[in-house]
Structure 1
Amino acid sequence: MKKIDKLILKSFIGPFLITFFVVVFILLTQYMLKYFDDFVGKDLGFSVFAELIGYFSINMTPIAFPLAVLLSSLMTFGNLGEHFELTAIKSAGISLVRVLRPLFVFVVFLSALVYYSNNFIVPKANLEAFSLLYDIKQKKPSIDIKEGAFYGGIPGYSIKANKKFDDEKSLGDLIIYNHSDKKGNTEIILADSALMYTILGDKYLVMELFNGKSYTEEDAKKPNKPSNYVRNVFQHNKVVFSLASFEMERTDKDLFSSNRMMKNESELRNDVDSMHNDIIKAKRTIYRYTPRFFNMHLQEVEEIKPKTVVQWEEQKKDTISANSDSIAESEDHLTSADIEDGKNVKFDKANYKRKDSKNSNEQNQIAQQQDSVILNYDSALVAKADSVYAQRNRGNNNLVDKPRFAKNRLKGENRRIESREFESNVYGIEANAKLSQAVACIVMFLIGAPLGAIIKKGGLGFPVIVSILFFIVSYVINTTGIKLGRAGDISNFWAVWTSNLILLPFGLFFLRQARNDSRLFETDYYAVKIAKLFKIFKKEK
């Protein structure tokens, strides 16, 4: 490795590590604040917090790595340009691409490490983090007896202290209701004062009571006999409470392993394939059960026309033959269910069209009479068919019940299909994001390094602003793409890769400008251009 490569790598690794840990800390702080209420008053201890922070820090790395690469590369080449080191390197005949080569190789290896971390390390850390977070949420808060209020955190007891002193251990005017035997408040303890503390590694709570009385109602020895009532007076007494319910119990981690955040890419893709198979099976089920829903309409029965239909058709034929020149089109068809001996009923779609004759009012009157006949016939036929259908099914059902059931069944199947499609999109996006987040490191490097060479500003000032700007653009595009991808408006590939594909041309553009020593971000360059434009306008006048 040449000295220039060592110089570039040494200049990059320091800012990269600093910015990486700073970004992780900022993201971790913002993320942990969401669960702040779940931590308060539970006396978790430093070890639990350290474990949780460590797991969630790993959870933040997929976002932290690209941002750290962007910021550190911009700072590195900004410092080199600001101290004219980059100019000296170029004057020695070394191109900018050659200067970028060692860092590019480093970022490529870093991207491979990020992909491995996203695929194997992060899912395991998520499993540990969220299972621990669930146990923390389920853990009871530490004992906090408030003045003048009943405390029921200890199972089987209700405790009230009318006075609580500043040392948080001494209590005054104490009342304890013991209903641990689940027979009501059969035991009451009163005390003027008390001192509470824990023993045996906070497994038991001891209350030393002073100057008090206890009242106990014992069970009757014989039925239908009054129970005994016992009263004791004491100057000093101890009551021990078990704090087993306050200990944090760890839940089996396998219960959380089915979540998408706890799986690697291959497992996610297998789940997507399984969901697609479920969708296909659900669609096949709909078509397979369709004949059951509409079996009355799919049966083959002999068609017999009722008298009203026969009469209507005869009237229609006479009308058409007598007025064939005045009627443009008159075509009506009615196909209905046939009822024979109350056994078979079938309805087919009834369509009838009518165009009124423009030359004869008499034809309009005939058509209206025909319509009324058909409508009366339809209502009577439906009523009779309902009665036959009810007899066949031995119930009070009518012809509307089966279509209604079919509609509800189809709605349920469609909701199930939509739900599975949404889940498959979510899992597919998560699978594609494993590699996309790793490639984002390369894209951010191609933006940050040339941009730093153009700006020639180091430190945490202007580079931070530019880095945050590009990060916000990337975040907005990713968020929008994921939202559209989950809704099924775009494919899972475009949902997570759009950000990289949009920002990559910016990186190539900045690289081209940096190779040409562009003054893209120098104000005096634009001042000269604007002055030339003003001179051109003055000459034209």
Structure 2
Amino acid sequence: MPIIDRYVLSRFLYNFFGSFAVLMVIFIFQTIWLFIDDLAGKDLDLIIIGKFLFYLTPSLLDKVLPLTVLLSSILTFGTFAENYEFAAMKASGISLQKAMRSIVVFVTILGIATFFLANNVIPVSEQKIFNMRKNIAKVKPAAVIVEGVFSDIEGADMNMKVSEKAGDNDQFLKDIIIHQKQNSLNTTVIKAKEGELISSEESDLISLVLKDGHYYEEVQPKSNKNKRKHPFARSEFETYIKNIDISELNNQDLEAESDITTDKMKNVVRLRKDIDSLRKNNINQVKAFSKNITSRMGAFLISDRDSLNKRKVETKTINDTVVVAKDVDLASLLPEWQKTQVLENAKNAVGNVLNSIRGKKEELGKRYEVYNRHILSLHKKFALAFSCIILFFVGAPLGAIIRKGGIGLPMVVAIVLFLAYYFLGVFAENYAKKGNMLPMIGAWFSTLIMFPFSIILTRRATADKGLMSIGNILDGFTRVFKKKKDDADNS
């Protein structure tokens, strides 16, 4: 390798690994704040928290790597331009393309490695994080209880709903509803205005202290005659203590695997297979529902051209037969009470069909959103690899143009460009998930937006032009005003 290539590559790698370490630490701390509710107050040791952060690191690469490439390229070539090293290179006959040659090879290898990470490492880390979050939530019952919905309590054979949780460990509860199960049936309902979870490290029992509530229990009589009366018992209480065995929760394996997989947990081969299966399944769902609705409405499906011609002949024959009675109101032939009944039945039938269509539309919307998410995840793996290469060709010429090294202006420019790249990708993905944009375009949108900028900036940097030619813009305005003045003088 020539000396100039080694020099340029070494400077770039120095900035690359330094930027990568700093950005990774920043994103890890930012992500910790997002997951603080999953980790805080669970009595987790440092090993578990360390594993959680270790599994979390690969999932951050889709943000860290593009920003690292962009920032390090601006820093490297900005420093070269600021120290007039580019001027020395050009005086020696070394163009910008030759100066970037060794880094282009490195960035290409980095793009291939990024695709490998996105296809093999990130899906595994996503599944590890999903399982650990789910299992950590089972460490304490207070973590399982979600405000506003019924939550199953493992080992207690009951589900509970609270309107609000408070306290350092969410131990104080308000507006509690408990459904106690017996033989898989909810036979007991307990309601209380307030409650508190009390536990100790030495015991496998946790006490749920309920205050100011009611107790309802469905009595199961032995004789069939008494069962028809549906007897139940009701009582009021000021304080009611319910002990819950949490030995199963304390023995919870925080790294236990589950069979649940999402689009982010799959590689390219699995995604392609599932995309094909989801597409066929969605088509079958639409066909089956269409057939069901047409049969309920008394309509018919046209299968081919012969059946279509046959139905046209049958319809014409029927019209010729009943042409005399075509103006007769059939409803007027019925008695008033029967007419009202027929119209009401027809109204109910149409209403039921419309409700079925609305429900099916919502269901199909969710199905197609899952389908779109799989397509997005498939193309994002390739788009992430290409984004590293594209952003290098944005950052390197931009650094040469602005001619500023250090971490001041280059850092600001890199962050602004990355935010534009990132938010364009987020908006495009959200549109694509809802079907407002093709999922493939949604995955590639931000990269395609940056691609023409990389070409324009590289050409301007090669020609040793500035970021914006202000002189040409001013000359254009001057010519326009001069032409207007000449036209006014001539008139």
Which sections of structure 1, spanning at least 5 residues, go unmatched?
Answer: 143-152, 157-195, 206-240, 314-332, 337-373, 391-396
Judged with a 3 Å threshold, the aligned counterparts in structure 2 of structure 1 residues 534 and 431 are, in CA distance, closer, same or farther, namely closer
- Structure 1 residue 477: Cα displacement: 1.3
Give me the whole-angstrom Cα distance separating, in 2, the residues matched to 1:296 and 1:116.
Answer: 53
Q: Does residue 496 of the first structure (1) align with residue 449 of the second (2)?
A: no
Larger radius of gyration: 1
Give me the whole-angstrom Cα distance separating, in 2, the residues matched to 1:279 and 1:533.
Answer: 57
More deviation in 490-499 or 111-120?
A: 490-499
Please say if residues 42 and 141 of structure 1, whose CA atoms lie closer than 8 Å, have aligned partners that are also in contact.
Answer: no
Judged with a 3 Å threshold, the aligned counterparts in structure 2 of structure 1 residues 384 and 472 are, in CA distance, closer, same or farther, namely same
- The C-alpha deviation readout for 1:276-315, integer Å capped at 9, x for no partner, is 11121122213433453134999999989xxxx97xx8xx
Give me the whole-angstrom Cα distance separating, in 1, the residues matched to 2:277 and 2:402.
Answer: 51
Judged with a 3 Å threshold, the aligned counterparts in structure 2 of structure 1 residues 383 and 276 are, in CA distance, closer, same or farther, namely farther
Please say if residues 386 and 398 of structure 1, whose CA atoms lie closer than 8 Å, have aligned partners that are also in contact.
Answer: no
Give the structure 2 partner of residue 250 of structure 1. Answer: 254
- Matched AA of 2:331: D
- Structure 1 residue 500: Cα displacement: 1.4
Which sections of structure 2, spanning at least 5 residues, go unmatched?
Answer: 143-152, 157-198, 206-244, 302-310, 487-491
Give the structure 2 partner of residue 381 of structure 1. Answer: 334
Select which of 253, 260, 263 maps to 2:263.
260
Give the structure 1 partner of residue 295 of structure 2. Answer: 292
- Matched AA of 1:432: H
Give the structure 1 partner of residue 47 of structure 2. Answer: 47
Judged with a 3 Å threshold, the aligned counterparts in structure 2 of structure 1 residues 382 and 439 are, in CA distance, closer, same or farther, namely farther
Please say if residues 422 and 486 of structure 1, whose CA atoms lie closer than 8 Å, have aligned partners that are also in contact.
Answer: yes
Give the structure 2 partner of residue 512 of structure 1. Answer: 459
Please give the secondary structure, in 1, of the residue aligned with 2:51: helix
Give me the whole-angstrom Cα distance separating, in 2, the residues matched to 1:421 and 1:56.
Answer: 28
- The C-alpha deviation readout for 1:507-541, integer Å capped at 9, x for no partner, is 111111111222337xxx85999799999999x99
- Structure 1 residue 481: Cα displacement: 1.0
Question: When the two structures are superposed, what TM-score results if normalisation uses the length of structure 1?
Answer: 0.62
Give the structure 1 partner of residue 189 of structure 2. Answer: none
- Structure 1 residue 482: Cα displacement: 0.9
Judged with a 3 Å threshold, the aligned counterparts in structure 2 of structure 1 residues 379 and 246 are, in CA distance, closer, same or farther, namely farther
- Matched AA of 1:58: P
Q: Does residue 278 of the first structure (1) align with residue 231 of the second (2)?
A: no
Give me the whole-angstrom Cα distance separating, in 1, the residues matched to 2:297 and 2:100.
Answer: 71
- The C-alpha deviation readout for 1:411-445, integer Å capped at 9, x for no partner, is 33333322211211111111111110111001110
- Matched AA of 2:334: L
* 1:111-150 mapped onto 2 (5 Å cutoff): 111-140=111-140
Select which of 359, 379, 390 maps to 1:412.
359
- Matched AA of 1:5: D
Judged with a 3 Å threshold, the aligned counterparts in structure 2 of structure 1 residues 204 and 140 are, in CA distance, closer, same or farther, namely closer
Give me the whole-angstrom Cα distance separating, in 2, the residues matched to 1:389 and 1:197.
Answer: 68
Judged with a 3 Å threshold, the aligned counterparts in structure 2 of structure 1 residues 254 and 508 are, in CA distance, closer, same or farther, namely same
Give the structure 1 partner of residue 69 of structure 2. Answer: 69
Judged with a 3 Å threshold, the aligned counterparts in structure 2 of structure 1 residues 439 and 242 are, in CA distance, closer, same or farther, namely closer
Give me the whole-angstrom Cα distance separating, in 2, the residues matched to 1:398 and 1:450.
Answer: 73
Please give the secondary structure, in 1, of the residue aligned with 2:140: coil
Give me the whole-angstrom Cα distance separating, in 1, the residues matched to 2:61 and 2:361.
Answer: 39
Please give the secondary structure, in 2, of the residue aligned with 1:138: coil
Give me the whole-angstrom Cα distance separating, in 2, the residues matched to 1:535 and 1:264.
Answer: 58
- Matched AA of 2:262: N
- Structure 1 residue 96: Cα displacement: 0.9
Q: Give aligned-pair identity as a percent.
A: 27
- The C-alpha deviation readout for 1:101-125, integer Å capped at 9, x for no partner, is 1101100000000001001100001
Judged with a 3 Å threshold, the aligned counterparts in structure 2 of structure 1 residues 388 and 86 are, in CA distance, closer, same or farther, namely closer
Please say if residues 59 and 122 of structure 2, whose CA atoms lie closer than 8 Å, have aligned partners that are also in contact.
Answer: yes
Give me the whole-angstrom Cα distance separating, in 1, the residues matched to 2:450 and 2:381.
Answer: 18
More deviation in 119-128 or 275-284?
A: 275-284
Please say if residues 282 and 413 of structure 1, whose CA atoms lie closer than 8 Å, have aligned partners that are also in contact.
Answer: no
Judged with a 3 Å threshold, the aligned counterparts in structure 2 of structure 1 residues 416 and 87 are, in CA distance, closer, same or farther, namely same
Please say if residues 8 and 102 of structure 2, whose CA atoms lie closer than 8 Å, have aligned partners that are also in contact.
Answer: yes
Please give the secondary structure, in 1, of the residue aligned with 2:44: coil
The count of residues paired between Structure 1 and Structure 2 equals: 382
Q: Does residue 485 of the first structure (1) align with residue 432 of the second (2)?
A: yes
Give me the whole-angstrom Cα distance separating, in 1, the residues matched to 2:393 and 2:476.
Answer: 33
* 1:197-208 mapped onto 2 (5 Å cutoff): none
Give me the whole-angstrom Cα distance separating, in 1, the residues matched to 2:11 and 2:414.
Answer: 18
Give me the whole-angstrom Cα distance separating, in 1, the residues matched to 2:341 and 2:479.
Answer: 97
Judged with a 3 Å threshold, the aligned counterparts in structure 2 of structure 1 residues 474 and 380 are, in CA distance, closer, same or farther, namely same
Give the structure 1 partner of residue 345 of structure 2. Answer: 398
- Matched AA of 1:289: N
- Structure 1 residue 398: Cα displacement: 3.2
Judged with a 3 Å threshold, the aligned counterparts in structure 2 of structure 1 residues 116 and 386 are, in CA distance, closer, same or farther, namely farther
Please say if residues 478 and 495 of structure 1, whose CA atoms lie closer than 8 Å, have aligned partners that are also in contact.
Answer: yes
Give the structure 2 partner of residue 430 of structure 1. Answer: 377
Supply the RMSD in Å over aligned alpha carbons. Answer: 4.2
Give the structure 1 partner of residue 423 of structure 2. Answer: 476
Please give the secondary structure, in 1, of the residue aligned with 2:35: helix
Judged with a 3 Å threshold, the aligned counterparts in structure 2 of structure 1 residues 76 and 389 are, in CA distance, closer, same or farther, namely same
